[in-house]
Amino acid sequence: MAKEATALETGLAIIYGTFVKYADSGDGGDPTTINKKELSKMITEQLPLLDEEGMAKTLMKELDEDEDGTMDFMEYCGLITGLSMILHMVISDQLPK
């Protein structure tokens, strides 16, 4: 019987799976990168707290290091790191000192 995935393996699989879901959205674009339309959809569906006018444009500008107008997996990991840091700061601020 296959061993059950650990919490961290599950978290990594979700992070990876979310990238694939939006990169390979079937809109005819490159299935290995997230374009601005796909990023906008991901923000609306997955990151409602960030869902505001122009957020996709802002994030793409911030994270699209090779400036090809799309987000590859490495650039997406930059987004995940940024989001994790925000989560870390928000929660650390709320912890009793």
Q: Which is nearer to a copy of itself, 4 or 53 (CB)?
A: 4
Q: Tell me the chain's radius of gyration from C-alpha atoms.
A: 15
Contacts with a copy of itself, residue ranges (CB under 8 A):
3, 6-19, 32, 42, 45-48, 73-74, 77, 80-81, 83-85, 87-88, 91-92
Q: Which is nearer to a copy of itself, 1 or 8 (CB)?
A: 8
Q: Say how far apart CA 4 and CA 34 lie, in whole Å.
A: 30
Q: Say how far apart CA 41 and CA 22 lie, in whole Å.
A: 8
Q: Which is nearer to a copy of itself, 58 or 84 (CB)?
A: 84
